Structure 1
Amino acid sequence: MDHRDAIRAADPLVVKVGSSSLTRAGGGLDTALIDALADVLAARHAAGHRVVLVSSGAIAAGMTPLQLAKRPSDLATQQAAASVGQTALMAAYTAAFGRHGVLVGQVLLTSDDVTRRGHYTNARRTLERLFALGVVPIVNENDTVATHEIRFGDNDRLAALVAHLIGARALVLLSDVDALYDGPPSRPGARRIGFVPDAEDLGEIDISKRGSAVGTGGMITKVEAARIATGAGVTTVLTSADRAGDALSGQDVGTVFAPTQRARTARQLWLAHATAPQGGLVLDDGAVLAVTRRGKSLLPAGVREVRGKFSAGDAVDLVDLGGTVIARGLVNYDAHELPNLLGRSTRELARELGPEYERELVHRDDLVVLRRGK
């Protein structure tokens, strides 16, 4: 089975749609676009496939009712627009899927839901129960209670994490761009990249183009989402919303990102992409190689510096001497305990301080490599 056939057969499936694919340029919902998307996904649902729709558009949908000429920049107005727009968005989806006799359910997630392990498993249980009840879950970031500035791209990343969360076989990212190109799509001669064997190998491709007026992201967030998803073994396709049906039927549209052969476990994906680091540990060259190439735990002897304030059990970044984050893991000590331990062997520490100090700073089972050392 090739990668496009894998998309056609994928169950479960996650589809993410951006604000620009659901709304008019000046804000407000375009119900014709929503109906067209619902037609495609309802057909997939009717074929017996489990489908999750991750939808942006709440803020954009609230702009017209609130008479906002452009997307608000301050958090309070963003939250107000999301509050008004979310009800309109779900009403539109309820009506659009209802034409096919399909029930939808709203699932609003915050950053805590994908960074705290207990919340993470609760979210998965909820989605699985909705599947069992024959419901199409519609997921969105809970913009109305966000405590940090709402950033476009969160829903791209969220969609990849949801795909990992439910064990999806494919992720479809829909936007106003029909594919990834080897340069700005508006540039004469720019060519569509139909297949990407490894999303890590895109260093020479210009993906810096900004998003639309109602969304504020671009290709960078979608490629990052593809990296997350393919790292979890999820085939990913990027295309425009009007090609959704073609993409889901396995036709040669958009850009397909192949799942990597080094697929991470659920725990590794959680550590890499669903945790917020509370500090960092700077490693010497020997420790970098031990962690990234030899699959070893991190010991006090290989750490040069402690950064930030964290407690035992928190996620921390492991950083090389050049400042590059090479791994992330759960630390076994509080930050204030570490300065007197650095550069010393665990045997020496146990002899001087007691047997409880003969343990790793970060055990290899609680560590994920993000970049291989040289």
Structure 2
Amino acid sequence: MSAAREAVAAARRLVVKVGSSALTTAGEGLDARRLDALVEAIATRIGRGTQIVLVSSGAIGAGLAPLSLRKRPGDLATQQAAASVGQLALAHAYAESFGRYSLTVGQVLLTSDDVVRRAHYRNAQRTFSRLLALGAVPVVNENDTVATEEIRFGDNDRLAALVAHLIGADALVLLSDVDALYDGDPRDGATAKIAEVTGESDVDGIKVGMSSSGLGTGGMVSKLAAARTAAAAGIPVLLASAAAAAAALDTADTGTAFTAADSRLSARRFWLGYAAGAKGRLRLDDGAVAAVVRRRRSLLAAGIIGVDGEFEAGDVVDLVDPTGETVARGVVGFDAGELPAMIGRSTHDLPSEQRHEVVHADDLVPLSR
């Protein structure tokens, strides 16, 4: 068994994410049989001494049937109405199902503000820590009832990766209606299953599809992105079918396993790289990209070839290479209005008050390419 699978099987604190398509159907709403099977697998693992946080999609899907909606609505207001109805049904179903095992459920609804804003991030950490210490099972979902387009996570796969780091999880398990990662769309029939992902080269160039159920917002694209995010931050990941939840949470001998990076990012550096919202972009030349990404050096004005967006000193910005690909994120040391007159100039050619790093190495996180 691989080290990643061993880590998932032995984890003492675990985040489990389940997708809408694994819990609901458009015509009938929540599928009690599927939900109970998932809860049984989680309760069995908790019985072995593991603390589990469940990130569950399904609120909008659970609200469709009661509102006589045949498919997931396209407009935000109707999505929020469905989530308002479905969230109650989902929470009630989980409370009843976990109650069969004498386990108490605590509902945690998050918007991206709760992890993007540093103070909110720390408060969320304390909330999860206390719930787990009291023996509750936190059930997490994006707060679809109030979240606007500007403050949405986009999908619960990304949310699960952020929560896994936020709570200091030992591993992340992503459960959906697909049994593993494939080197193409598994519906084509000519693709092969990828059992282990040990590095970026294992997934470079593969083409994956979006959700076909009409209930979820993600699909394999978002699951792969979430798995890579968590693994790069030092958290092993298992991607598997919700139907195989029992095996995934027992021996982890199913699905696709993602090996974690050798070291785990600190909470601040993870927040900076993957949770904080970027206010603008700094475009770098090839020399600056090499210095920032490979040599982990500070970004100086001489390596900048362009500035995009409106930001102030202390905001987070994306650092992009000449092709436009984001290669790092960091806290900028100057306002957007100051930088155009500085770009391309050596430090000793600048006024004394501007002779410091545009982004200091301690406030900079290279990203997986």
Q: Specify whether residues 182 and 239 from structure 1 end up closer, same or farther in structure 2 by C-alpha distance, changes over 3 A only.
A: same
Q: Specify whether residues 199 and 145 from structure 1 end up closer, same or farther in structure 2 by C-alpha distance, changes over 3 A only.
A: farther
The answer for the alignment partner of 2:274 in structure 1 is: 273
1:26·1:69 contact (CA, 8 Å) conserved in 2?
yes
User: How many equivalent residue pairs?
Assistant: 368
1:1-374 equivalences in 2 (<5 Å): 2-148=3-149, 154-199=155-200, 201-261=202-262, 263-349=264-350, 352=351, 354=352, 356-371=353-368
SS at match of 1:289: helix
Alpha-carbon distance in structure 1 between the residues aligned to 2:282 and 2:66: 49
Q: Specify whether residues 158 and 316 from structure 1 end up closer, same or farther in structure 2 by C-alpha distance, changes over 3 A only.
A: same
1:153·1:222 contact (CA, 8 Å) conserved in 2?
no
AA in 2 matched with 1:214: L
Q: Specify whether residues 27 and 115 from structure 1 end up closer, same or farther in structure 2 by C-alpha distance, changes over 3 A only.
A: farther
Deviation at 1:153, TM superposition (A): 5.3
AA in 2 matched with 1:3: A
Deviation at 1:128, TM superposition (A): 0.3
RMSD: 1.8
User: Which digits, 9 at most, give the CA deviation of each residue in 1:200-247, with x for residues without a partner?
Assistant: 531232212433121132101000010011112111111111101101
SS at match of 1:77: helix
Q: Specify whether residues 72 and 200 from structure 1 end up closer, same or farther in structure 2 by C-alpha distance, changes over 3 A only.
A: farther
Alpha-carbon distance in structure 1 between the residues aligned to 2:31 and 2:354: 61
Deviation at 1:146, TM superposition (A): 0.9
- Give the TM-score taking structure 2 as reference length: 0.95
Alpha-carbon distance in structure 1 between the residues aligned to 2:275 and 2:250: 31
AA in 2 matched with 1:362: V
2:112·2:152 contact (CA, 8 Å) conserved in 1?
no
User: Which digits, 9 at most, give the CA deviation of each residue in 1:299-354, with x for residues without a partner?
Assistant: 112212111100111111112222222111010111111122222233332xx3x4
Deviation at 1:84, TM superposition (A): 0.6
1:75·1:150 contact (CA, 8 Å) conserved in 2?
no
Alpha-carbon distance in structure 2 between the residues aligned to 1:149 and 1:286: 34
1:83·1:144 contact (CA, 8 Å) conserved in 2?
yes
AA in 2 matched with 1:327: A
2:176·2:241 contact (CA, 8 Å) conserved in 1?
yes
Moved more, 25-34 or 217-226: 25-34
AA in 1 matched with 2:55: V
1:75·1:149 contact (CA, 8 Å) conserved in 2?
no
Alpha-carbon distance in structure 2 between the residues aligned to 1:145 and 1:151: 10
Alpha-carbon distance in structure 1 between the residues aligned to 2:289 and 2:192: 39
2:125·2:166 contact (CA, 8 Å) conserved in 1?
yes
SS at match of 1:264: coil
Alpha-carbon distance in structure 2 between the residues aligned to 1:158 and 1:170: 14
Gaps of 5+ in 1: none
Deviation at 1:263, TM superposition (A): 4.2
Q: Specify whether residues 266 and 132 from structure 1 end up closer, same or farther in structure 2 by C-alpha distance, changes over 3 A only.
A: same
Alpha-carbon distance in structure 2 between the residues aligned to 1:95 and 1:371: 42
Moved more, 75-84 or 45-54: 45-54
2:157·2:218 contact (CA, 8 Å) conserved in 1?
no
Moved more, 113-122 or 316-325: 316-325
Sequence identity (%): 59
Moved more, 35-44 or 191-200: 191-200
Gaps of 5+ in 2: none
Alpha-carbon distance in structure 2 between the residues aligned to 1:268 and 1:211: 35
- Give the TM-score taking structure 1 as reference length: 0.94
AA in 1 matched with 2:359: V
